[in-house]
Copies of this chain bind each other. A is one copy, B any other.
Amino acid sequence: MTSSRPGLPGLLDTEAIRKDFPVLDRQIHDGKRLVYLDNAATSQKPRQVLDALNTYYERHNANVHRGVHVLAEEATALYEGARDKVAAFVNAPSRDEVIFTKNASESLNLVANMLGWADEPYRVDHETEIVITEMEHHSNIVPWQLLAQRTGAKLKWFGLTDDGRLDLSNLDEVITEKTKVVSFTLVSNIMGTVNPVEEIVRRAQEVNALVVVDASQAAPHMVLDVQAIQADFVAFTGHKMCGPTGIGVLWGRQELLEDLPPFLGGGEMIETVSMHSSTYAPAPHKFEAGTPPIAQAVGLGAAVDYLSGIGMDAIAAHEHALTGYAVQRLQDVPDLRIIGPGTAEDRGAAISFVLGDIHPHDVGQVLDEQGIAVRVGHHCARPVCLRYGIPATTRASFYLYSTPAEVDALVEGLEYVRNFFG
């Protein structure tokens, strides 16, 4: 499915792919074709995923795990089948290591809470330290702030270099013998930076700290192999990877999931309940209280099939080519300053920038009038804005259906913005 365009090797056949995404035909503002460049916020959904949802609801819908009737068995097989698919997608050693949550935020909170309530050696308490980075999404900051506040643990973090990379020059001072957990993003949602997992993991393992990887911006865009990155937990979210809203994933190492305490209590997560005490089911069920997001898991399974059908390597290559093109064209726009890496190396397909002193809100609004959807604001990563002394950025972000023509539209749109406020 690869088309070649002069100078841009590795592009996918987006003409074919775009036919799978109904919303991309949408016209807005009196007939302007939608140019959707807000993929880091959420992706669009292919027909294949919507079909899976509809088939589930129209033929198989039932509550899972507890029924002996046909629908209940079918629904259970579909739900657990989705777990198999996701496990294979991230190369999990065992399907039982895949926990379905509602989003990446819940996944990260789940880890933080498990560690807060855990017994030794995992317990985070006032004598221990938690390490994150300054480029985390709020969903990988606030859970740790809450944990630190409630346990007395100390929260530390890696700062950023001027070109949007992690500053690991003080690696050994930040991660110390006191560090119980290191949680960081694989790919920055605001700057696109791809972080050097290996270096951080090596140091974390030296001090026996658990490693949590926020793969929300990685899972949709590249091969994600939980064994290769040697993390203990990996979190990501369905809606950014062609899946439905309302579904997230936490992968965790089996022995940890066995040892750590549950988080939410309720139906499905128990082994046996009496009024006096309860025992818990083995993982993953121990961490899935209540009726799970059944249809959404099935939809995520279909999304994973869809992405694998195209190939994660091919998707990564497509985005790499497009990002290179975009970085280069954007750097030609006067007064435009990229916040984050200035090349396509070790970077994902989200590009943040500021345009002179025109506020991103105004940039976004005037682009929208031309049919171009970008995100503006702090992108749930306000510390990055603080770090670079800016109130907000405009962010364009690409996905497997994005095209060079859309990059061109963005650049033209930005010219118009400059003239409008000039």
| Contact between A68 and B365, CB atoms less than 8 A apart | yes
User: Do B141 and A273 touch across chains, with their CB atoms under 8 A apart?
Assistant: yes
Contact with B along A132-147 (1 / 0, CB 8 A): 0010011111110110
- Asked if A28 is at the interface (CB within 8 A of a chain B CB), the reply is yes
Chain B minimum-CB-distance residue to A134 = B275
Are A36 and B245 also in contact (CB < 8 A) when A45-B57, A62-B41, A63-B41 are?
Answer: no
Contact between chains at A245 and B383 (CB < 8 Å): no
Neighbouring B residues of A377 by C-beta, 8 Å: 66
A374 CA to B71 CA, complexed, in Å: 10
Task: State the copy count for this chain.
Answer: 2
Pick the contact of A274 from B62, B374, B383 — CB < 8 Å?
B383
The smallest C-beta distance from A55 to any residue of chain B, in angstroms, reads 10
A174 interfacial by beta-carbon distance below 8 Å: no
A61 CB–B CB distance under 8 Å = yes
Q: Across the interface, which residues of B come within 8 angstroms of A134, CB to CB? A: 275
Contact B72 A373 (CB under 8 A): yes
Task: Say whether A108 faces chain B, with CB atoms less than 8 Å apart.
Answer: yes
Is A191 close to B, CB under 8 A? no
CB of A66 within 8 A of CB of B375, answer yes
Contacts of A269 in B (CB 8 A): 142
A239-B264 Cα distance, complex, nearest whole Å: 19
A53 at interface, CB cutoff 8 A:
yes
- Given the interface pairs A58-B22, A105-B291, A138-B273, the reply to whether A267 lies near B145 with Cβ below 8 Å is no
| B139 near A290: Cβ-Cβ < 8 Å | yes
Q: Which of A19-68 contact B (CB under 8 A)?
A: 22-23, 26, 28-29, 34, 36, 38, 41-42, 44-45, 50, 53-54, 57-63, 66-68
Whether A59 contacts B264 by the Cβ 8 Å rule is: no
Please give me the residue from chain B that is nearest to A43 by CB atom.
B61
Which parts of A386-408 form the interface with B (CB within 8 Å)?
386
Give the residues from 157 to 209 in chain A that come closer than 8 angstroms, CB to CB, to chain B: 157
Q: How far is the CB of A166 from chain B (nearest CB, A)?
A: 14
State A44–B361 Cα separation when bound (angstroms). 43
Q: Which residues of the partner chain B approach A57 to less than 8 Å between Cβ atoms?
A: 22-23, 45, 50, 244
Interface segment out of the listed A10-18, A82-90, A292-300, A307-315: A292-300
Is A289 in the interface zone, CB < 8 Å from B?
yes
Give chain B residues whose Cβ lies under 8 Å from the Cβ of A104.
290
Asked if A277 is at the interface of the complex by the 8 Å CB criterion, the answer is yes
Cross-chain contact A139 with B247 (CB below 8 angstroms)? no
Contact B68 A364 (CB under 8 A): yes
Q: Which of B44, B69, B143, B295 contacts A368 (CB 8 A)?
A: B69
Contact of A146 (CB < 8 Å), options: B23, B69, B265, B290: B265
Distance to closest chain B CB from A181 (angstroms): 15
Instruction: Name which residue of chain B comes closest to A110, CB basis.
Output: B264
Q: Of the candidates B53, B58, B109, B272, which one forms a contact with A382 in the assembled complex, judged by CB atoms under 8 Å apart?
A: B272
- Asked if A246 meets B382 with Cβ closer than 8 Å, knowing A69-B374, A143-B266, the reply is no
Q: Which 10 A-B pairs give the minimum distances between C-beta atoms?
A: A105-B290, A142-B265, A139-B266, A246-B293, A105-B266, A246-B246, A69-B373, A267-B380, A41-B63, A102-B102
Sample of 14 A–B contacts (CB below 8 Å): A26-B71, A41-B66, A42-B62, A42-B291, A45-B61, A66-B379, A67-B375, A69-B374, A103-B292, A137-B267, A142-B289, A146-B265, A245-B292, A245-B296
Known: A67-B373, A138-B267, A141-B265. 14 other contacts (CB 8 A): A34-B70, A36-B71, A38-B69, A62-B373, A66-B375, A69-B364, A102-B102, A102-B293, A138-B266, A139-B290, A155-B275, A273-B383, A275-B383, A293-B296
